[in-house]
Amino acid sequence: MRRVMIMDVFNHPIAQKYLNRSGVLHAIRVAGYAVQLAIKHDVNPDIAAKAGLLHDIGHYEWYTNGEWDYEEYVKNDIHAIKGAERAHKLLIRLGEDRQYAKEIALAILLHTDSYLPENSMKKTSLQQIVRMADEMDEEPLGKHHYRKISREDAIKKIERLDQEIERLITEYRKTV
């Protein structure tokens, strides 16, 4: 049994507040892709799903005169840094394993290099997975952040994800 389920993470007030800002459906889909990629690359699917779900919770709303300002966002965004910190705080509060919480925070920190001065850092499989999963769900001009999903459908998807991970984690534990 995992210490913290995806449902616990999803329902935490910090996650609810920031997932609504950056798109619940995008977050859930990236978590799903991250699980698929984790199996292929021999990464713990539970950690990958949590990092996928939380990867964008650092987003800030960039508005100029009430309108979303994409240029301001591209110039000044540091959502990966804020997201890593928020995710870490939330996971530790939920009682997550500290090593897992650190790995998830680092994968979120490095899921984009748009804010980094250099593009040459060597990344772990988990860090690459979260980035790939995010790119799989992306739409031009950040439209993936505005797709809608009802609370009911979100809960159903999270339940399915938890069940799948529960099944996969048994397999994963046999290999490490």
List contacts with Fe ion (CB under 5 A). Answer: 56, 134
Q: How far is the CB of 56 from Fe ion (least distance, A)?
A: 4
Q: How far is the CB of 26 from Fe ion (least distance, A)?
A: 6
Q: How far is the CB of 22 from Fe ion (least distance, A)?
A: 7
Whose Cβ is closer to Fe ion: residue 56's or residue 162's? 56
99/163 Cα distance (integer angstroms): 23
Whose Cβ is closer to Fe ion: residue 92's or residue 132's? 132
Angle at 3 between CA 85 and CA 5, to 5 degrees: 75
Whose Cβ is closer to Fe ion: residue 60's or residue 172's? 60
Whose Cβ is closer to Fe ion: residue 77's or residue 97's? 77
Q: How far is the CB of 136 from Fe ion (least distance, A)?
A: 10
Query: 3-state DSSP call for residue 46?
Result: helix
75/158 Cα distance (integer angstroms): 33
Q: How far is the CB of 142 from Fe ion (least distance, A)?
A: 9
Whose Cβ is closer to Fe ion: residue 56's or residue 103's? 56
Which ranges of 6-124 would DSSP assign to H, the alpha helix?
6-11, 13-22, 24-40, 45-54, 70-76, 79-93, 98-109
Taken in order 84, 85, 86, 89, the sign of the CA dihedral is positive
Whose tokens are 């046999």? That residue is 174
